[in-house]
Amino acid sequence: MNISAKPPAARGAALPDLDLMEVSAMIAARVVGPVEVTEAVLDRIEAVDGTLGSYITVMADHARERAAIAEAEIAAGLRRGPLHGVPVAVKDLCETASAPTSAGMQIHKGVVTGRDSTVVSRLERAGAVLLGKLAMTEGAYSGHHPKMPTPLNPWNREAWAGSSSSGSGAATAAGLCYGSLGSDTGGSIRFPSSANGLTGLKGTWGRVSRHGVFALADSLDHVGPMARSARDAAAMMGVLAGADPMDPTALQAPVPDYLAACAGNIRGLRIGLDEEQVFGTTDAQTSAALQEAVAVLRELGAHIVPVRLPVAPELTEQWTVLCGIEVAIAHAETYPARKAEYGPHLAGLIDLGLSVSGDAVGRAMQWRLVYNGAVAAAMQGVDMLVLPVTAGRLPPLDNPYGAPAADPENPDLGDLLKFTAPADLTGCPSLTLPGGFDEAGVPIGFQLMGPALSEAALLRAGHAFQTLTDWHTRRPDLSGFTA
């Protein structure tokens, strides 16, 4: 197992081990240039990713070209912001004009759409250096296609790297980019952020444009940053968020200065906690990590307020109906026409969606309205909730659950979605933070979930938490991944 970890300073603070805002400050001060930073990260990709498997496409020539442009701009006195000259990567469902976009699917491998998604355009306008496309599960559902790469967890190669933004989690944790984009339909920013010791932000539904992003289920899909700290996530979110004429579902609300919001304290912040759900249904290691996180938030001056969260045994069933019918729509051009080329998990979900009656869809939509109202009622009087990401028992390696039936040898879908699906069904924002490690050396994360458009408050709370804890500064030992 690969379970050791040291703070980056203890290893000489190699460039790829710094967080995004640290390297951004160094670039701005001209201590180091974008070209040197990009080459350092490309060298690490070459050294470890043959084993780690986080990238499906490394855009080395493109990255070097963008780094040289950024270096010249900075030398001329132009500063585009905190991402200028910083290497990042995107999940391989974000379209890129000059590189293939597979969405983790064998049938799309090598397909170049010829256009950039809005999120990629915004990153590059901000001066970020795009390193490449990150591996993911098939179609952003539960399991990787048998013929596509399955990323490993850099903390423990026998552990789950998360679903479906597995490559984003592994690459960011291992220093193969300073931040990445993931997507979240049932928990796919939060699962890999938790499993890889990252800070991940799933914003309010519509806060980030989905134009040019391959859909799993449009009404549940969110795109957001995965990074090493709350400040890193804030810097990325400030670039990604905002209205987009190419996506009519993108929210029109003004985008606040998320980085500036991180500077505030959280004294008096009201954080809701359902002790019965949070501590009573999680395993001992997860519960202990959550109790420590709550103690830190109290020390920072937050008020921990008792709440009662709505318990819906049918949550997974209804989420699956809604997701299944939407994913069937998203794949109408290739399924069932090319069913034989699909993996079992995504095919199972699509088959389920195609078999669902109109009555069942209507009932699921009505159920969602009632459930969302119950969640909103539970959050009255608090600024956010503190929740686990999972109850604790994680699947090994890959394919954590089938569709629609669960694998009896692994946690079932309900176990995994219990604490994550609520934020997708309601569209509420949620910030995942690292809060410890389990006995196998795998990170344990927790989430702060707030009402619509509360990203700034979540990031402020996350940054405050990270001023008193050092979980986000830990880096995995990669010696077992070098050739």
How is residue 35 written in tokens? 């070209």
Neighbours of 357 (CB within 10 A): 9
3-state secondary structure the chain: CCCCEECHHHHCCCHHHCCHHHHHHHHHCCCCCHHHHHHHHHHHHHHHHHHHCCEEEECHHHHHHHHHHHHHHHHCCCCCCCCCCCEEEEECCECECCECCCCCCHHHCCCCCCCCCHHHHHHHHCCCEEEEEECCCHHHCCCCCCCCCCCCCCCCCCECCCCCCHHHHHHHHCCCCCEEEEEECCCCCHHHHHHHCCEEEECCCCCECCCCECCCCCCCCEEEEEECCHHHHHHHHHHHECCECCECCCCCCCCCCHHHHCCCCCCCCEEEECHHHHHHCCCHHHHHHHHHHHHHHHHCCCEEEECCCCCCCCHHHHHHHHHHHHHHHHCCCCCCCCHHHCCHHHHHHHHHHHHCCHHHHHHHHHHHHHHHHHHHHHCCCCCEEEEECCCCCCCECCCCCCCCCCCCCCCCHHHHHCCCHHHHHHCCCEEEEEEEECCCCCEEEEEEECCCCCHHHHHHHHHHHHHHCCHHHCEECCHHHCC
> Which is the catalytic residue, given 54, 117, 121, 164?
164
> Which is the catalytic residue, given 166, 180, 188, 454?
188
> Which is the catalytic residue, given 91, 133, 202, 418?
91
- Does 188 qualify as catalytic in the annotation? yes
- Does 91 qualify as catalytic in the annotation? yes
Neighbours of 201 (CB within 10 A): 33
How many angstroms separate the CA atoms of 472 and 229, rounded? 6
**Could you give the residue numbers annotated as active site?**
91, 164, 188
